[in-house]
Chains A and B, each alone.
Chain A
Amino acid sequence: MKRIYVKEEWCLGCHLCEYNCAFANSGLTDMVKALRDKPIYPRIQVETDENGVTYAVSCRHCTDPICVKSCIAGALSKKDGVIEIDHSKCVGCLTCVLVCPYGAVVEDGSGVAQKCELCMKNSCGAPACVKGCPNGAIVYEERQAVPASD
């Protein structure tokens, strides 16, 4: 299945992905209305390493997702390869935040958990971070699992 992958050699650290993500999941049609004068809670996070290399981290949609296994509310599930969160079931215990080894599940600003759902549930239909990346540093494509090497 298609997932989001990062080409860090092309990431400019512009953080547009975070804003595009927050907008795409705001449910609003105007970015200004959605984001102006508000803190944003994106589902993708840009990190900077010690050499100044930047890259965006979002849900890996793991083959064996520990967040799904750990959800105490049965709100996280994996459907057709996409790890989804049922917001009506989430009570905001944040156990998923505590277990995600990539820090890809985050609190949404109102106390409940949120994570990248590949923009499948919002009006974008395809990941907004990928579409809005000015330098092709985030891609949405099919890749094969590489068997773990020793």
Chain B
Amino acid sequence: MNFYPEFEVERNDSRCIRCRVCERQCANEVHWFDADGKVMLSDESKCVNCQRCVTLCPTRALKIVKSDCRLRENANYSDQTIKEIYRQAETGGVLLSSMGNPNPLPVYWDKILINASQVTNPPIDPLREPMETRVFLGKKPKHIRRNADGTLDTKLAPQLTLSMPVMFSAMSYGSISYNAHASLARAATALGIYYNTGEGGLHEDFYQYGKNTIVQVASGRFGVHKDYLEAGAAIEIKMGQGAKPGIGGHLPGTKAVGDVSKTRMIPEGSDAISPAPHHDIYSIEDLRQLVYSLKEATEYRLPVIVKVAAVHNIAAIASGIARSGADIIAIDGFRGGTGAAPTRIRDNVGIPIELALAAVDKRLRDEGIRNNVSIVCGGSIRSAADVVKAIALGADACYIATAACLAMGCHLCRSCHTGKCNWGIATQRPDLVKRLNPDIGSERLINLMNAWRHEIKELMGGMGINSIEALRGNRLMLRGVGLTGKELEILGISHAGE
């Protein structure tokens, strides 16, 4: 069944100089030059609205606009719902989507406001006063311990040191390109933070950035071997992912080419389908075994992170993880991005990170095990304000990936699963991969993080706080607006005005 295209290409012919940049830059082959009529033509049905042509058009002759051709209005059966039914009726297949859940579900970050000092406990000016944004991730001692001779026992479990409380979260080499990985690795190194390999292994070229790399072990165990485990600064066990809780990763065979297949240690062209569970983990005790296996393999030098999706009983799950020997828990909310996920799962499974984070922090505190682990939260951290709110809700640090992709050029067209990313990020096609120059990609990531660090400091200063550690779990700094009593209770914050 044919639909009228979702997007329309609006070409202002009076501005078009026929340079054909749009044609050359569109991997979806939307544009072409008609030599007879000497005009640019387009096939809008192929357009994914990635805005590559719009961005590169030197005369601003192009616009991509949403088509206003609609099925008859129906508040229950939306245009999209109906078309999805048509599509499935045609193909019999599971619908695939990419990036985070775009649906209009509540964004609690936007209903939480941050405090500032006035008169008493005055604000601090970050331009004039030192501000500490450094955080350490890992187990902290519950009490001060002394050695037999009375001196302080300063031996700590292994820690990650972050210059600011943000890290680049897991995106596998395969789901994203070599150049995207290079950009992330270089930026993390320059910034003194970490990036995460995802479950695709670590390309040999990037071992040099190991000090700023978190290596992931997921259910498919792709690319996992001893050198890999030892290459990073921490190991992350991926139990789940916010975009698709309950299922494993899926890299289409078309992306498992060349070095990707080599790095994953799988045959070229084969689909890399990670199992939904780790087949050796059916209990916290099993998880504990994997945590300690990994620690053993790396001689207890590296902290181990356990990453889970935010789901209904997240607090209890986190409590178990905190007792499993893990050093860090990473919680991924339902808006987290992905390179490919079944649409139904992405859009309907999991819970908001804000609620999950607040619940986990409270539960661990209540149980007196909060110091067993650090908490990292992810799943749509969009700005420095989100970071500050997350810390105040109890996070030690945040993971960002969508924002990092945006910094590298992503325009959120949500077509990663097609493998034809026009921005050179979510693709393995060499001609597209080269569109992301890591010199530029890393510079933009560094710029973004520096900007956020400045903003975090300003927000902290406003609250009269000069150390990020002093903000952690400091929910008095937050107020809710337009939230129900239950929501406020879970978030552990008061309503604005209270």
Interface on A for B, CB 8 Å cutoff?
7, 9-10, 12-16, 19-20, 23, 31-32, 35-36, 52, 132, 134-137
| B24 beta carbon closer than 8 Å to chain A | yes
- Tell whether, in the assembled complex, residue A10 and residue B434 are in contact, meaning their CB atoms are under 8 Å apart: yes
Residues from chain B with Cβ under 8 Å of A35 in the complex: 17, 19, 59
Q: Which 9 A-B pairs have the closest CB atoms?
A: A35-B17, A10-B437, A136-B437, A19-B19, A135-B437, A36-B17, A32-B15, A14-B21, A32-B59
CB distance from B473 to the nearest CB of A (A): 43
CB pair A36–B58 under 8 Å, yes or no, is no
Q: Which residues of B contact A13 (CB under 8 A)?
A: 24
Chain A residues, CB < 8 A from B440: 135-136
Which residues from chain A contact B436 at a C-beta distance below 8 Å?
135
* Chain A residues within an 8 Å CB radius of B71: none
B17 A31 Cβ-Cβ under 8 A = yes
Interface flag for B241 (CB, 8 Å) = no
**Which residues of chain B have C-beta atoms less than 8 A from A31's C-beta?**
17, 58-59
Please, how many angstroms separate the alpha-carbon atoms of A31 and B17 in the complex? Answer: 8
Does B84 touch A at the CB level, under 8 Å?
Answer: no
Contact with A along B417-459 (1 / 0, CB 8 A): 0000000000000010011110110000000000000000000
Q: What chain B residues lie within 8 Å of A52 (beta carbons)?
A: 431
- Please name all residues of chain B whose beta carbon is closer than 8 Å to the beta carbon of A36 when the two chains form the complex: 14-18, 59
How many Å lie between the Cα of A109 and that of B198 in the bound state?
A: 54
- Tell me the smallest distance from the CB of A133 to a CB of chain B, in Å: 10
26 A-B contacts, Cβ less than 8 Å apart? A7-B437, A9-B434, A10-B434, A12-B25, A12-B435, A13-B24, A14-B25, A15-B19, A16-B19, A16-B58, A19-B17, A19-B19, A32-B17, A32-B59, A35-B19, A36-B16, A36-B17, A52-B431, A132-B58, A134-B55, A134-B56, A135-B434, A135-B435, A135-B440, A136-B437, A136-B440
A15 contacts B14, C-beta separation under 8 Å: no
Across-interface contacts of A19 in B (CB, < 8 A)? 17, 19, 21, 58
- Which A residue's beta carbon lies closest to that of B179? A10
Q: Distance (Å) between the CB of B263 and the closest chain A CB? A: 20
Chain B, interface size category, equals 20 to 34
Alpha-carbon gap, A135 to B21, bound state (A) = 14
A20 to B58, CA, bound (A): 8
**Which residues of chain B have C-beta atoms less than 8 A from A32's C-beta?**
14-15, 17, 59, 61
- Provide the B52-72 mask, 1 if CB < 8 A to any CB of A, else 0: 000110110100000000000
Contacts of A12 in B (CB 8 A): 24-25, 431, 434-435
Contact A136 B439 (CB under 8 A): yes
Given A19-B19, A36-B17; A137-B437 close (CB under 8 Å): yes
Residue of B nearest to A7 (CB): B437
Question: Which residues of A lie under 8 Å from residue B46 when comparing CB positions?
Answer: none
Nearest to A20 among chain B residues (CB) is B58
B20 proximal to A (CB < 8 A): yes
Bits for B200-221, please: 1 = Cβ < 8 Å to A, else 0: 0000000000000000000000
Distance A63 CA – B440 CA, assembled complex (angstroms): 31
**Bound: A135/B55 CA distance, A:** 13
A99 to chain B, nearest CB (A): 30
**Chain B residue, CB-CB nearest to A18:** B19
Taking a contact as CB atoms under 8 Å apart, the answer to whether A16 and B437 are in contact is no
Whole-angstrom distance between the Cβ of A127 and the nearest chain B Cβ: 16
How far does the alpha carbon of A15 sit from the alpha carbon of B18 in the complex, in Å?
Answer: 11
- Contact partners of B55 in chain A: CB under 8 A: 134
Neighbouring A residues of B435 by C-beta, 8 Å: 12, 135
A-side contacts of B20, CB under 8 Å: 15
B138 to chain A minimum Cβ distance, whole angstroms, is: 38
Min CB gap B309→A, angstroms: 36
Given contacts A10-B434, A10-B437, A136-B440, contact A16 B17 (CB under 8 A): no
Give the CA-CA distance A110 to B286 in the complex, in Å.
79
Tell me which of A9, A14, A20, A135 contacts B24 (CB under 8 A): A14
Nearest-neighbour CB distance to chain B for A32, whole angstroms, equals 5
Q: Cα distance A137–B439 when bound, in Å?
A: 10
Contacts of A23 in B (CB 8 A): 58
A91, chain B: closest CB distance, angstroms: 31
A137 to B58, CA, bound (A): 17
* Contact residue among B15, B24, B59, B431 (Cβ-Cβ distance under 8 Å from A15): B24
Chain A residues with Cβ below 8 Å from B59 are: 31-32, 35-36
In Å, the complex CA distance between A53 and B103 comes to 41
B209 to chain A, nearest CB (A): 20
Which of A10, A16, A137 is the one whose CB lies under 8 Å from B21? A16
Using an 8 Å CB-CB cutoff, how does the interface string of B156-187 with A read, 1 for contact, 0 for none?
00000000000000000000000000000000
Q: Which residues of A contact B15 (CB under 8 A)?
A: 32, 36
Give Cα distance in the complex from A134 to B61, angstroms. 17
Chain B residues with Cβ below 8 Å from A134 are 55-56
Q: Which residues of A contact B21 (CB under 8 A)?
A: 14-16, 19
State how many angstroms separate the Cβ of B182 from the closest Cβ of chain A: 12
**A132 to chain B: which residues have CB within 8 Å?**
58
**Least Cβ–Cβ distance between A28 and chain B, in angstroms:** 12
Question: Taking CB as reference atom, which chain A residue is nearest B52?
Answer: A134
Min CB distance A17 to B, Å, is: 11
Q: How far is the CA of A137 from the CA of B20 in the complex (A)?
A: 19
Complex-state Cα separation, A7 to B434, whole angstroms: 11
